[in-house]
Structures are given as C-alpha cells and as structure tokens.
Structure 1
Amino acid sequence: MSTRFRLSLALLTTLVLSACDDAPRFTHAEPGEALSGGSATVRKSDQNAFSMPSANLSPVRRLDFSVGNSFFRSPWVIAPSTTTARDGLGPLFNTNACQNCHIKDGRGHPPEAGDSNAVSMLVRLSIPDDPAYADLIQRNGVLPEPTYGGQLQDMSNPGVEPEGKVRVEYDALTVNFRDGTAVELRQPTLRITQLGYGPMHPETHISARIAPPMIGLGLLEAIADDAILANADPDDKNADGISGRPNWVWDDAQQKVVMGRFGWKAGQPNLNQQNVHAFSGDMGLTTSLRRVDDCTPAQTDCLAAPNGNGPDGEPEVSDNILRLVEFYTRNLGVPARRKVDDPQVLAGKNLFFEAGCQQCHTPSFKTRSDAAEPELANQNIRPYSDLLLHDMGEGLADNRTEFQATGREWRTPPLWGLGLTGTVSGHTQLLHDGRARNVLEAILWHGGEAQAAQRRVLAFDAEQREALLAFLNSL
C-alpha cells in the first residue's frame, strides 16, 4: 500500500530561506582533500578497494595484516575437529566467517523480500529494562530476551535447534520533491518464524542491523575522546536543532564505563571488544573476554554441546588470533576520493553544507599522537561523521535502547567510501537495516534532528540533486 507525504510549500520555503546562510563556499578542493585517511589512504577504486592495508604500513607489518586477514576470511568449523586453530563454531551462530557478513570488507544487505537467507544482516533482541537486572543492563546495554538472548541466531550445529528465521516485508512510501519528482521509499517489517524454543517475550524489541563497511576503523578509534565531545550539544544550547551526544558504554577489559564509538548505536568502545562480541554472537566462539557459549538457560542442547576450548580452558579464539584480527580491522585503509576538483562535485559540496548535513557528518578530525598503531597517529582524516548519537525521527526508530542510546537515536555513520559501495559490495543498500536502496533514499529517510536538512534537500531541483549525489559519491 502506498502512502503519500506532501509538504506545505510555505513551510518548505521558510526552511529553505533559513538554511545555513553562513555555509562556506567551495570553489576548489581543499589541500589534501582526496586523502580521506591521511597518509594511510589507499589508491584503489575497484572491488578490492576496502580490503587494502593502510598505505603507510611497512612490509613487515603487512605480514601481520595478511595473517589477520586469513582469520577474518576463512571459515570456522564445528568442534571437535583436527583443525583445532579454527574449531568451535556454534552451537548457535549466524555465519561461519567474518567475511560472509562484511563481504569484501564492505557493507551487508538485508535478504530479498520473502527470503529467509539473512547472512549479512543480524536481528537484535531485547526487552524493556527492569531495575532488578540493573547490573546486567549496565554491562550489556540491554536486557536480552530471556529465551533467545540478545541476537537471533538462525543457524546451528547438528543436534541443536536454530533459534528461528527472519523475513523482511516492505510497504511503499512516496516522498515528493518541490519540483514534483516522486521517490518511492520502502518501509521494512520483520517477520520472525520457525522459533525453535517457544514464543518470545510479548514485549520483545526487534531491530535489524546490516554489517557496516570495515574501512578506517583504526583511524576512528584513534580520534581523541575530547575531539568527539567538542561537537556534542546534548541540550542544544546553540539552538540549531542538533543535539548530538555520546553513548557511554561498558568496557569489558577495563571494567568501567567509557565512551562508545563503534556499532550502529555506538554501543562498543573499541575494536577489540567489537570483534569479541562478533565472534561470540555471530559465530558462537569463545574468547578470553567472553568465555561461555551464547546459550540461554532455556537452550539445554546448546549448553550441553561440545566446544572447541582447549584442555586447560583456553578459549576457541586465542588471544593471539584476537590480536591479529584486531590488527587487521585497525589497518584496513580508506580509499582516496575521486574527482575532488570536478565542478559538479564542488557544487554538490556547497549544497551539502547549505543543507546543514555537516552539522552531524563532521568532515574532518586529526587523530591522536598516541594512537594504538603509529601509522594511525597524527593523521588528518575526513570521515564525515561526528560519532555521536542523534535522534533520527520516528521513521527510523527501532524503539530499542542500547546503553544511553534511545530507540530513536543512531550514531552518525561515516561517509568515507560511500561512492564505492556498489563497486565493492555489489549493491547500494544503506541505513542500519538496508531499507534505502541508494543514497537519495537514505537522505529522504532522515527525520528528527535531520528533518530540517532533509526538507532543504527536498527543495533542490534536479540539477542540484545530481550535484549533491556527485559529491557524496566522490567520498
């Protein structure tokens, strides 16, 4: 069923006239603008553009990168196995290799409508917070669904029932530009079927998450907390309608609350913990930070299944493997921008600023001098993200909290590499659940704090829209 949204012309005109009158004007590329990752930027624009090591990584250190890549790409197997370095998969899992979700180190996608093969899309589960479980919520950020846990796992080892299957259905929504151009959006609805352990809690919150691209993560990790906090304005004291704020999350290794920066709601503080949680939730693999399989008390077959832990209690993913995978994920380089001096791209950059997009998609940062890897230190980078949470409106809301993030808040995703999504991943599906089929649709889904910017874009004519997209696709 199609639902049409029409904006008041008077309201739209008012918004356009009040749009960012003090926005800078760009007549040529800024110095170093093509080097999105500073001296770590890679010169690659083909299907392998997201899989290259940082350009300034030495040949010796590229060996560790290659070994980490092998553990990222190769499948894990069920224990017991003669392949003891890679056994322990499951008992419940979503995939058997990191690369299956982060295809070519790029972006995942939802299953086709009606298909239950959701290999590069996860489904998060939780129930409303309960003060009786305050300690669990502090450490996990959510209260997991009692029977199925915090993530629906649709695959399992023999003798263990998978948790269920997910299908995505879409309704059509139509948005009109001021010049009369209509764009059809798709509103997803998740259907979970074939539940293996009985019904879910009646108040279960369900949220789909596609795998994000892997580029530049070490550079984002190397941004100082103070630099991120400098852009926060949780009470909107400057009255610009933008109130970005950090997520404060639990650090498993440090055993304390720190600032989050990874994940769709900035729910993870660093790459190592992000990797640990992916090994556990996505593949059912234990580490020194998560030593038990991801089974709930109701899943007795899962709890009783064999695992790949060593005879002295060594986890399935050793600390050395974890270190190598962390090194790999830290050092995936960011591709250089294309056509930075193109007149249409520069015109689009001006429109990006005039619409106010840069208020959340912060163009640049400088990384810390004490970054975890020397190649990532003191780099002038251009991620186009503030790494803060923003209310994105009811249209994108999943009504699921995560630490400090509300059900309407999402972390601003970096835009670097955006224009190579189709080349690398074979599709251009965007946003947390892949509902947007292209960049323009993603813009039109913006609401909440981004509503004013979205409405300014709706006032652009066809030539302006093409220029804006040319700029975004140059990133």
Structure 2
Amino acid sequence: MKPHLVIPLIISLSFPAFSFAYGVKSGGDTSTNKQGSNAFSMPSNNLPISKRLDFSVGNSFFRNPWVQAPATTDARDGLGPLFNTNGCQNCHIKDGRGHPPEEGEDQAVSMLVRMSIPALTKQQTQQLIISGVIPEPTYGDQLEDFSIPNAKPEGKVKIEYTKFNVSFNDGAVIELRQPKLILHDLNYGELHPDTMLSARVAPPMIGLGLLESIPVETLKRLAQQQKEGRDGISGRLNQVWDAQTKTTVVGRFGWKAGQPTLIQQDAAAFNGDLGLTSTLFPYENCSPPQTICAELPNGNSQDEENVEVSNKILKFVEFYSQHLAVPIRRNTTEASVMRGQQLFESVGCVSCHTPEIKTAKRDGLPSLSNQTIHPYTDMLLHDMGTGLADNRPEFLASGTEWRTPPLWGIGYTKEVNGHTYFLHDGRARNLMEAVLWHGGEAQKSKQKVLSLSKSDRDALIAFLNSL
C-alpha cells in the first residue's frame, strides 16, 4: 500500500548550453542536439531547471520496473496479474520504437495484439461511443502474454510472414513481407469466432507534448484543405471518449488516434500493458470470465483514490511524456538530402506528412507553447488501402484507416533502437519498404516512387534519414 510517495533523487543542476548552429529544429525551441542511443531521452531544451526534477521523477516511473503486490516497494506495486511488460521502457526502448518478434519467437515484449469483435447488438453499438471497440468476451481488447507467478498468461503470439517482390520501373526489385498473427497456448478458452486482431509496435515517445499542443482548429483546417484539394487525399479526425471530461473529443494518440490526451494514453497503457489501475481506469484488466484479478492481491492505496497508480504518479509520467525532446535534423545541406526533400514534396508525401505546424499557448506548459514545429504529420486518419489494413475499427477509424505517424526523428531509429522496423506492426524492415506499403489515398504517390531512378530513390531515403 502507498499512503506516501517518497522519491529520493539526486540530479545534476548543470545543463550544457546547446548549440543549434546547423540543421533544423524539428521541435522548435524544445529540440535537442543529443545524438547516439539516448537521442530520444532528453528533456525539452527550453525546459527550465526548476521543472527538470519533475521530468526526472516521471522518468523514474516510466523507466523502473513495477512489482507484484504486496511489496515493500509500495510506490510501484500492483503489477498484473496479467500484463505485457513490467515497465514502460521495455516497450518504448530508450523512449523509442518497438519491434515485432523475430520469426519463430513468441516473446513480443515491445509489440502487443489488440483484439475485438464486431458490434452486433444495440447495446454494443452504444458501448462503442465510450470504448471504441467491443472487447473479445474472454480476453478483452488486448492479449496479455505475461503474468505474475500465481497466474497464467492469456497466451502467446508469434508472426509468420508471406514474402513477395515489388519491382521499380527501372527493373530493380524489393522484397516486402506480409505478417500473419498466430495466437497459441491460450489459457482461458477459445477466442470468439469473429475476433479481429491487430498487431501494434510501440511508437517513439518524442515530441508528444507538442502534438498534444496543436490546436484542434488547425487539425480541422488541414482536413478541410485536403477535402477541397480534390486530389484523392481526404484525412479526417477520429472522435474518441475522454475519460476525464466524460465527453467525445478529437483523438490524437495511438496508431488509429484512439486516445485524446497524453494522460489518458499513459493511464490506458498502465492498465492494459502493466495491469495497473488509476482513477481514469480503476478496474483491473481482467475480463468477467477471468476471476484471478479478484482473487489475487492488488496494490491499491488505502486512501480515497484506492488505485495502484496515484494521480500524483500519473501527473509525473504525463509531464515526462509531454517533454521528451525531438532531436534536430542532420545533414540538411547535403545535395542528396535537399534533392530528397524536393522529391518528398513532388511525389505528394507532404499531403499527409505536413512539414510545419504551430502549437497553441498552453497554460502551465510554456515550453510547449507557441512553437513552430516540423513533425511531418497532419494527425488525421487516412485510408491506406487493403495491404496495410487490420480490418479492425476503433471509434470512427475504419479497418483500413491509420493516423499519419510523425516522421521527426525517424533517421535516429537505428542508433537508438538498433533496428529499422517501421509501420504499425513493424513489417517494414527499412524506410523504402515502409513507403511501398502505402496504398489507398497514397497509391498515386507510391506509383511515383516506383518510377524514380535509383539515385532519386536514394535521395528520398537520405532526406527521410535527415529528419
């Protein structure tokens, strides 16, 4: 139990003065010039020293493992009994991008599987307003493949790939791989026959507070401009349930923009991924047929909150999530990078990957306010075609729609995370594979990329790696 929260921390109050003599500050004044494996783990460069302690406290709860209750570590107990990981950093490795299991493996630590069934009744249709999906009756809306010692995990997941070739107009060939999810060793019964599955790797954590600070009016304007453009690009905003305000609002976070705010995104991850309750999600992540959550000890506090993740902890993690800096662009004056930027625009990628947006003024968050940023996203849902479809709706997002992911920092993926797996399920093994999976609204742009010469294709990738 945790009546008090005491966190002994020693931090250095000496911070280097960053120099931005080169490159472009993708995150405005928040941008960091940190490179290497910790490039995604720095606080916003304009965050005052007085607030860096809050950042460090949030980092400690994001980084350190949670444990089974009861425990002497009563500020971090209550893990599970069903979970995907025991710490946020295990999925968002070094605050970066997750990856799918390799072929033959069934340990999907930084990838999870969403599950749901179609809404068939009037009551279920009404439920969609709040939950966005109808959870699978036995396993809920997410497969938990780990458990505490006194429980059984829900099951295991592995991936098999079907591989096929795609040819460029000049005869060059690239191999793509189509994933197939396989759930096995299910411990709580059979899946509903109409279960829809969707694999999701953990996205990078950088710049999230800036994305949260983009005015709704700006996002609506982008959607309207696309609609009026009549070029086949027509993004739209997801509309999702806000657990704090008890209203339907614009969705911003998650692969289908299914969460409205960072604090709700964080609380949902604590609940679904770690099996931890909060005031936003006060119930354990067991479905009604799973009685283990009621039978085993929990880490709920003995105060009026009566949850495992207190509001105080949640606010620290929110602050940390809001203020992870975006690293600056690199190699921006190289001829190939400048040529690649021209191609990125000419083939139409900027129609969805919006290069420049300005954030709003936010009370209490001056570091994030009034920043001119370069996220390369419009935050809108787009139909990406049948190739990328998971065929699993989420609130207004259809089974073929995905939110445009921000591209800032994408060139740091290899040095931060040691891999170059991209897209929502990590199927793309490099940036060009990711480009060639685009379909639907992006089909015309993909066809233009297929017609590029080898030197132009290399320039396009050089530009993406400069972000």
Q: Residue 135 of structure 2 is aligned with which of 144, 156, 176?
A: 144
**Structure 2 counterpart SS, 1:166:** strand
Which residue identity lines up with residue 98 of structure 1 in the other structure?
C
Give the aligned partner of residue 60 of structure 1. 50
Deviates most, 75-84 or 293-302: 293-302
SS of residue matched to 2:94: helix
Which residue of the other structure, out of 324, 329, 336, is the alignment partner of 2:328? 336
Question: Aligned runs of 1:241-320 on 2, under 5 Å?
Answer: 241-312=232-303, 314-320=306-312
In structure 2, how many angstroms separate the alpha carbons of the residues matched to 1:243 and 1:209? 24
1:171 counterpart (155, 159, 162): 162
Corresponding residue of 2:31: 41
2:425 to 422, 430, 433: 433
CA deviation vs aligned residue, 1:19-39 (integer Å, no higher than 9, x gap): xxxxxxxxxxxx996100001
* Alpha-carbon distance in 2 for matches of 1:369, 1:302: 43
Matched, 1:85 2:87: no
Specify the alignment match of 2:112 in structure 1: 122
Q: Which moved more, 1:122-131 or 1:278-287?
A: 122-131
Q: Distance in 2 between matches of 1:372 and 1:127?
A: 41
Quickly say closer, same or farther: Cα 1:43–1:231, change in 2 above 3 A: same
User: For 1:321-340, what per-residue CA distance to the aligned partner results, in whole angstroms no more than 9, with x for missing partners?
Assistant: 00100000000000000011
User: Greater CA deviation, 385-394 or 33-42?
Assistant: 33-42
DSSP-derived class of the 1:168 partner: strand
Write out per-residue CA displacement over residues 447-475 of structure 1, whole angstroms, 9 at most, x where no aligned residue. 00000000000000100001001100000
Q: Is the 8 A contact 1:233 1:242 kept in 2?
A: no
- 1:213 paired to 2:194: no
1:110 counterpart residue number: 100
Deviation at 1:300, TM superposition (A): 1.4
Q: C-alpha deviations, 1:99-140, integer Å up to 9, x for none?
A: 000000000000001100100001000000132223421111
SS in 2 for 1:348: helix
Deviation (angstroms), 1:314: 2.3
Structure 1 gap ranges (5+): 1-30
Is residue 442 of structure 1 aligned with residue 434 of structure 2? yes
Q: What RMSD over aligned residues (CA atoms) do the two structures have, in Å?
A: 1.3
How far apart are 1:273 and its partner, in Å? 0.2
- Report if aligned partners of 2:23, 2:331 keep a CA contact under 8 Å in 1: no
> Identical aligned pairs, as a percentage?
58
Q: Distance in 1 between matches of 2:423 and 2:211?
A: 19
Given that residues 423 and 434 in structure 2 are in contact (C-alpha distance below 8 angstroms), is that contact kept between their aligned partners in structure 1? yes
Residue 401 (structure 1) aligned with residue 407 (structure 2) = no
Q: Which position in structure 2 is the counterpart of 1:193?
A: 184
Q: Which residue of 2 aligns with 1:457?
A: 449
Q: Which residue of 1 aligns with 2:175?
A: 184
Give 1:341 shift.
1.5
Deviation at 1:236, TM superposition (A): 3.6
1:230 aligns with 2:221: yes
Structure 1 segments (4+ residues) deviating >4 Å: none
Superposition deviation, residue 372 in structure 1: 5.2
> Conserved in 2, the CA contact under 8 Å of 1:114 and 1:167?
yes
The residue number in structure 2 matching 1:385 is: 377
**C-alpha separation in 2, matches of 1:98 and 1:351:** 37
Counterpart amino acid of residue 27 in structure 2: G
Matching residue's letter, 1:87 = D
* Aligned-partner Cα distance in 1 for 2:87–2:101: 18
Letter in 1 for 2:322: R
Give the partner amino acid of 1:46. G
Displacement of 1:191? 0.3
Write the distance in 2 (CA, Å) between the matches of 1:33 and 1:454.
28
Q: Distance in 1 between matches of 2:155 and 2:186?
A: 4
- The answer as to 2:403 corresponding to 1:411 is yes
Separation of aligned partners in 2, 1:229 and 1:129 = 28
Question: Following the alignment from structure 2 to structure 1, what is the Cα–Cα distance between the partners of residues 117 and 225?
Answer: 26
Q: Secondary structure at the match of 2:179?
A: strand
Name the stretch that deviates more: 309-318 or 440-449.
Answer: 309-318
Mapped contact 1:234–1:244 kept (Cα < 8 A): no
Code of the residue aligned with 1:360 in structure 2: it is C
**Conserved 8 A contact 1:234-1:245:** no
TM-score (norm 1): 0.92
- Paired with 1:344 and 1:426, the residues of 2 have a C-alpha distance of 24
Cα distance change on mapping 1:378 and 1:32 into 2, 3 Å: farther
For 1:12, the equivalent position in structure 2 comes to: none
Task: Show the counterpart of 2:231.
Answer: 240
Moved more, 147-156 or 312-321: 312-321
| Equivalent residues, number | 445
Query: Distance between the aligned counterparts of 2:461 and 2:202, measured in 1?
Result: 23
Deviations 1:383-409 (A, max 9, x none): 000000000000000000000000000
CA gap 1:203/1:235 in 2 versus in 1, 3 angstroms: farther
What SS is found at the alignment partner of 1:261? Answer: coil
Retained in 1: the 8 A contact 2:226–2:351? Answer: no
Query: CA 1:430–1:371 in structure 2 vs 1: closer, same or farther (change >3 Å)?
Result: farther
Distance 1:233 1:399 in 2: 26
Q: Cα distance 1:372–1:208, how it changes in 2: closer, same or farther (>3 A)?
A: farther
Q: Distance in 2 between matches of 1:179 and 1:303?
A: 62
Contact 2:23/2:330 (CA < 8 Å) preserved in 1?
no
Q: Note the residue ranges of structure 2 that are not aligned, 5 or more in a row.
A: 1-20
Instruction: Name the CA distance, whole Å, in 1 between partners of 2:23 and 2:130.
Output: 40
| Mapped partners of 2:119, 2:89: distance in 1 | 33
CA distance in structure 1 between the partners assigned to 2:298 and 2:22 by the alignment: 50
Output the CA distance in 2 between the equivalents of 1:165 and 1:302. 20
Q: 1:92·1:153 contact (CA, 8 Å) conserved in 2? A: yes
Structure 2: how far apart are the matches of 1:372 and 1:415? Answer: 27
Question: What is the deviation of 1:215?
Answer: 0.2
Write the letter of the residue equivalent to 1:273.
Answer: Q
SS of 2:378 mapped into structure 1? coil
CA distance in 1, matches of 2:343, 2:158: 38
The answer on whether the counterparts of 1:43 and 1:335 sit within 8 Å (CA) in structure 2 is: yes
